[in-house]
Amino acid sequence: MSDLLERLRGRGWRMTSQRRVVAEVLDGDHVHLTADEVHARAARRLPEISRATVYNTLGELVALGEVAEVSTDGRAKRYDPNAHRPHQHLVCSGCGAIRDVRPTGDPLADLPAQERFGFTVSGAEVTYRGLCPSCA
């Protein structure tokens, strides 16, 4: 993820230890942490980091398109570092586990013009629901 840090520096980001640990925490596949989970993990490396800074940094990463916001339930938003390859989510109704999935085909193709009500439709998010192997 140091390529991410490089890109951000290039965009004029002032590099701070707080931003570094937040970016480090948000690394890996199938990572979908809440802001408070990010804060807890960041605080293991940098105990005095504040909640406000985590929220600020996540918001900036989202605005820059480096991280995607995901809300699969009515609870806290989750932050997804896998923002460059578009994908959808498969959520376990039992335990809440989230996997990245790549459906075939384009969901937009399934929305005919007369179902668009004059909207300019630009994207679609799909949440698949089911039970994971442990919960089934």
Partner DNA sequence: ATCCTACAATGGACAGAGTCCAAGTCAAGA
Partner DNA sequence: TCTTGACTTGGACTCTGTCCATTGTAGGAT
Which residues between 67 and 86 bind Mn ion (CB under 5 A)? 80, 82
- 49, interface contact from Mn ion, Zn ion, DNA, none, CB < 5-8 Å by kind: DNA
Q: Does 92 bind a copy of itself (CB under 8 A)?
A: yes
66 binds Mn ion (CB under 5 A): no
- The residue among 47 and 112 lying less far from DNA, judged by its C-beta, is 47
For residue 65, state whether it binds a copy of itself (rule: CB under 8 A).
Answer: no
Task: Give bridge partners of residue 92 from the DSSP assignment.
Answer: 130
Task: Using DSSP, state whether 68 is helix, strand or coil.
Answer: strand
80 binds, among Zn ion, a copy of itself, Mn ion, none (CB under 5 to 8 A by kind): Mn ion
3-state secondary structure of 115: helix
Residue 120 CB, shortest distance to a copy of itself, in Å, is 5
The nearer residue to Mn ion, 21 or 79, going by C-beta atoms, is 79
Contacts 24+ apart (CB under 8 A), 43-49: 45/21, 46/17, 46/18, 46/21, 49/18, 49/21, 49/22
- CB crowding 72-81: b at 16 or more within 10 Å, else e: beeeeebbbb
C-beta of residue 5 within 8 angstroms of C-beta of residue 18: no
Place of tokens 């039992």: 94
Determine if 123 is a binding residue for a copy of itself (CB under 8 A): yes
Residues that bind a copy of itself (CB under 8 A): 69, 71, 73-74, 77, 90, 92-93, 99, 101-105, 107-108, 110-112, 115-133, 136
